[in-house]
Every structure is written in C-alpha cells, then in structure tokens.
Amino acid sequence: MNRSKEYKRSQTGLGWFFVFVVGITSLILVTMNLYRPDKPIATIVPGSSTEPSFVVQIVRPRQGLPLGGLLPPQLFGVDAKLGFDSSSDHAAYWLDEDLLELSGGNWKLRLVFDAAGQIQPESEIVFDLIFEDQKRRVRCKPGNLPVGGFHTSEITPNEFSGDFEIGFPICEDAETGQSLGWPPKPFILRGSFDRLPMTDHLNIQTETLDAR
C-alpha cells in the first residue's frame, strides 16, 4: 500500500513538473512574439500617401539583446525599437538619381545606389544608441560588398515611391571612429517611401538635412 501511495505521489509530482515546464515554455514563446525587435514594420503602399512620406526601421538581431530578447529590452535600459519616419522631428529628405538621404530626430540615412538598385559601400546610417550603458552616436555601414537592394517606381511625373532592405555588419563610434564590435551579426535596415519628388530637397517639417 505504501509503495502504491509513493508511486502516485511521484506520478503527481511529475505531472506538476510537466505542467510547470509547459507553462514556462508557453510564456517564453508568447513573450518572444509580443516583444519582437526583429518584427518588420509595415511598408508604405505606393501612391497611398497624400504627401511625401517615409518610414525606416532597424531590425535588431536578438543575439544583441539582453537574454536573447526573451524579455522586453526596456527592462534593461535598451532601445526596443530603432527607427524614424516622416513624422519625426525635423524630418527631411533628398532624392537624386543615385542618392537617397532621409533624416528625422537624431537619425541620418544616406543610401548610394547604382542604376540597377545595387547599394554602394559609401552608404551609411548615423543614429544614437544605448550601448554598454552609454548613449553613443553610432555610424553603421554596409561593408565593401553590400547585401540588399533598393527599388523605386514613378507613380506620377517626378514623384517616386520605393523600398529598400540592406544588411549593415559594421558599426563604429561616430565621434572616434572606433569599432564597437556590434552588432553580433548584421542588422537589417528596412524602409519605404512614397511621393518623393526627384532632385528636390524638401523639409517635411522645419530643418534642412545637413550637407554631407
């Protein structure tokens, strides 16, 4: 009889342990889906805007986040989302035959591309990042052999829409030029724009885009 009771207790204990493991696993999976720094933002549908607009997002690799991004990065003082758009402070743009510059807030993006839409090594993005508990001005580049593409389409005479997706494996301190050793693997820069006139510099709000 005692052995039977002990067996039932052990089975009950294993059952509760199984429930605990399943619960923890489910919680982790739900958290990973709710707090996804790697979740792409929606792109702008060409021609859907009533005025020039754009949106830019860095898709952060989970390996570069505390606990692999299992918990909200904000708990660790880390930026959960990195990006800017045409509603950001001092938003501005410049679109030319081989150049797109977007800015807003503390962000400045410069994309150089050829006629086939291939991104060139001169491209870069500069922004503020909390890194090793310090706020730093960071400059990131796509390297000598950029991976990604840039696409445009003319929706009305001299109004262009487009999108881009580019890997950035190299980041440095914008002030010192010292390599940060971040990101652990290339982050993906995604963006889209709508109704940008070619070769026309427009300040969407107040300030001009600084000359490079």
User: What are the pLDDT digits (tens) for 113-169?
Assistant: 998 889 999 999 999 987 777 888 999 999 999 999 899 998 888 899 999 999 999
Would you say 106 and 127 are in contact if contact means Cβ atoms under 8 Å apart?
A: yes
Q: Above 70 in pLDDT, residue 98? A: yes
Residue 160, CB half-sphere, CA atoms under 13 Å: how many? 20
Cα three-residue angle 94-97-85, rounded to 5 degrees: 30
**8's torsion region: left (phi>0), alpha (psi -120 to 50) or beta?**
alpha
Whether 108 maps to a domain, the answer reads yes
Residues 101 and 14 in one domain: no
Say if residue 69 is in the same domain as residue 122.
Answer: yes
Strand-strand pairing, 187-197 and 53-59:
antiparallel
Residue 209 resides in a domain: no
Residue 18 lies inside a defined structural domain of this protein: yes
Residue 212 lies in a domain: no
pLDDT number for residue 4: 59
Give the separation between CA 166 and CA 174, rounded to whole angstroms. 20
Q: How much is the pLDDT for 99?
A: 93
Q: Are residues 6 and 47 in the same domain?
A: no
Q: Does 89 lie in the same domain as 15?
A: no
Q: Are residues 91 and 144 in the same domain?
A: yes
Q: Which of 94-98, 102-106, 129-133, 187-191 has the lowest mean pLDDT?
A: 129-133
Query: Do 26 and 52 belong to one domain?
Result: no
Q: Is residue 211 part of a domain?
A: no
103 and 162 in one domain? yes
What domain count does the chain have? 2
Q: Are 8 and 73 members of one domain? A: no
Q: Tell me, yes or no, whether 19 and 89 share the same domain.
A: no
Answer whether residue 207 shows pLDDT above 80: no
Question: Do residues 100 and 93 make contact, with C-beta atoms less than 8 angstroms apart?
Answer: yes
For residues 119 and 65, membership in a common domain is answered with yes
All residues at 6 or more sequence positions from 68 whose CB lies less than 8 Å from its CB, including other chains: 62
With CA atoms as reference, report the closest residue to 55 among 63, 44, 46, 66.
44
Q: How confident is the model over 172-203, as pLDDT tens digits?
A: 999 999 998 888 888 899 999 999 998 644 45
What is the structure's pLDDT at 32?
A: 46
Domain that holds residue 16: 1-34
Q: Are residues 175 and 129 in the same domain?
A: yes
Domain presence at residue 95: yes
* 169 domain residue, yes or no: yes
- CA 202: distance to chain centroid? 24
**pLDDT at residue 34 in the model:** 45
Q: Which residue has the tokens 């059952």?
A: 15
